[in-house]
Amino acid sequence: MYHFLINPNSSSGKGIRYWQIIEKELEVQNISYTADFTQYEGHATELAEEICRKYKGIKNIVVLGGDGTLNEVINGIDNYDEVFLGYIPSGSSNDLARSLKISKKPLKALSNVLKPNKFTYLDYGEITYHKKEAKSRKFICSSGTGYDASVCVEVQSSELKKKLNRFGAGKFVYLALAIKQLFKVDFLNSTILIDGIKKDHFKNVLLISGMIHPFEGGGLMMAPGADPRDGKLNVCLVHGMPQAIVMLLLPTIIFGKHIKLKTVKYFKCSSIEIISDREAAIHTDGETPAFSSHISIRCIPKKIRMIL
């Protein structure tokens, strides 16, 4: 049995168009399935929880949507040992599909889910952010604080994503708003604790990202060489960069060359705690659950059994 979770509005309606194609194919192949449509933010988490409650034992959960929907689904799965996770990308940025080389053609992605070549155990990340109380959220690709999270906040409230999606160019919204945000960069002073042992302090921090996969923001290669099966976070910390030079950072991130810059600290670890001198936006897979000055990010190794 396959349980499809579909965000019909992903990439401004691509989700529903893809589902119509998939549904026909499932009928042709006489596949038994359930299909649930997300209707609002957080709904995919509730639907995944419901499937896990209702269908005990091994099951296939197939997500049709973007990275945000996938993020919500992994936050709703309680027992990863019982789930094979399939993915049919229909989002604007599709950073997970880019990393795992999952086809963006719906029928090809479906055929892979129905006749998997293999499955792989993927790491996922968890961010804990402290406000009045501590809250945690899992992520599949990337999470962090600072400039890139501020870009995500603007993407969430922007009409530009919808407009660009109409031309199939939704992934460029991150790039466009990243350029706009460059003009109002607000730096942080942050103390970091790596793996609970190594303490360091950085002034004028632009961003700190904890990455499981190489990409965020629709193909920006924040963590070149990141391996989602190595049980490690790849941390990218940009600091002490004059505002005028920040402009030049973006083109280097597109090609993953930023890690060679003196102002970029790039390393692997299992966990990182970050305490900053003020609250800043945080992001998980492009969604922005909160503002916080105290966050911890860790890698949970090889938990997600992903159909490839």
Ligand X SMILES: Nc1ncnc2c1ncn2[C@@H]1O[C@H](COP(=O)(O)OP(=O)(O)OP(=O)(O)O)[C@@H](O)[C@H]1O
Write out the residues near ligand X by the rule CB under 6 A.
Answer: 7-11, 38-41, 43, 65-69, 72, 91-94, 286-287
Looking at beta carbons only, is 43 or 268 nearer to ligand X? 43
The CB-of-197 to ligand X minimum distance in angstroms stands at 35
Distance CA 113, CA 136 (A): 30
Distance CA 145, CA 276 (A): 10
The CB-of-1 to ligand X minimum distance in angstroms stands at 23
Looking at beta carbons only, is 237 or 304 nearer to ligand X? 304
Looking at beta carbons only, is 65 or 210 nearer to ligand X? 65
The CB-of-248 to ligand X minimum distance in angstroms stands at 26
Looking at beta carbons only, is 93 or 234 nearer to ligand X? 93
Distance CA 166, CA 174 (A): 15
Question: Contact, 295 vs 130, CB < 8 A?
Answer: yes
The length of the chain in residues reads 308
* Token pair recorded at residue 163: 């407009």
* Token pair recorded at residue 297: 């990010």
The CB-of-163 to ligand X minimum distance in angstroms stands at 13
* Token pair recorded at residue 44: 């995919």
Looking at beta carbons only, is 94 or 292 nearer to ligand X? 94
Taking CB positions, which residue lies at the least distance from ligand X?
66
In three-state secondary structure terms, 122 is strand
- Residue ranges with strand state E in the chain: 2-6, 33-37, 59-65, 83-89, 119-130, 134-139, 142-146, 188-194, 198-211, 233-239, 264-269, 271-284, 287-307
The CB-of-41 to ligand X minimum distance in angstroms stands at 3
